A and B are shown apart, each in its own frame.
Chain A
């Protein structure tokens, strides 16, 4: 079983935070409080994009490692 890891990337050159839940669901926001509410609220409102996982977000080009 993989660890339940929540990841938050601060997108370079922007004020945007990109959050990925361990289930693969993603959200962008500029509010860290709102982002943690959503991430730690798993599974409420979490709909992973088709084929996305925590390690491989859908839009890898947008998400720095």
Chain B
């Protein structure tokens, strides 16, 4: 599966990047991430130019990385400032640096032509760094191509079957969706509004709602990396007021960053931000544990699916139905991004 280059991708949470060297592979490119003494996040190629030793297996000296094999030393811009045993530093002694932006608790890196990197193009997930929300989060490594996670998240009807007893109820699969594609903004929207639904344990336990609910799921997918699910939970029949805040409802902002690592592996960053019981650590622990369980149910299923697909011939004829309308739109936008980000001459 091809990658969409010339795009921003989440490489890590800000809290993962510090004074230890962190290795991540994004779109097949090995990166080393760290934070300078002044607090700036840095991403460099994770291969010493000399004999390809991983810099992530080396050590920091101030803001420089000293290669753990022969001591080649690189500054935060990837320039080599020391080579062993000689005065002259070869002109080509440098490693690639990557544009980095920290935003909404994520460390975004630009993979592609650096001249095209525009931080303003990074989609937002402001709840993750908003004190009015409580956030639980994690990251799982998926042994599956990133497109399988996109398919999974764009069609939430799977909640009924894969996540029953956690977030799935019969109404999810039974409720028709609406889908929109905004070509200019590059966003796919999928909405599923359930007027009268059972309350799954995930929300019954965390909100305390007894009985049936009105449950809205509004997806915003900003290809290739950021997926937002605006989840509105309210007692049955309670809708947002015409004016003023929607204070009778509970809101959870479910955020995923889908970052291709290698062809058949993916980083699955997940977070749940909520505007209720924000100081209640019991609720946080419950949601952290439950959502981790849900994510791992997806990981297990997608890893299995990857093995099945990898063993099949290309262009296996799959079947798409109405529930796939949003996922199909996402695939098309991704395919277009792959094409537009491909190096010149690589397309027919």
**A residues bordering B, Cβ < 8 Å?**
3-12, 15, 17, 22, 30, 32-33, 35-36, 39-40, 64
User: How many residues of chain B have a CB within 8 Å of chain A?
Assistant: 18
Residues of chain B within 8 A (CB-CB) of A35 are: 325
**B residues bordering A, Cβ < 8 Å?**
176-185, 320-322, 324-325, 328-329, 332
Secondary structure type dominating chain B contacts? mixed
Residues of chain A within 8 A (CB-CB) of B176 are: 10-12
A3 touches B322 (CB 8 A): no
A10 touches B325 (CB 8 A): yes
A36 touches B332 (CB 8 A): yes
Q: 26 A-B pairs, CB-CB below 8 angstroms?
A: A3-B184, A3-B185, A4-B183, A4-B184, A5-B180, A5-B182, A6-B180, A6-B183, A6-B329, A7-B180, A8-B179, A8-B325, A9-B178, A10-B177, A10-B322, A11-B176, A12-B176, A15-B322, A17-B322, A17-B325, A32-B321, A32-B328, A33-B320, A33-B328, A35-B325, A36-B329
A32 touches B320 (CB 8 A): yes
Q: Which 9 A-B pairs have the closest CB atoms?
A: A10-B176, A4-B183, A8-B179, A32-B325, A6-B181, A3-B184, A7-B180, A5-B182, A3-B182
B178 touches A4 (CB 8 A): no
B322 touches A30 (CB 8 A): yes
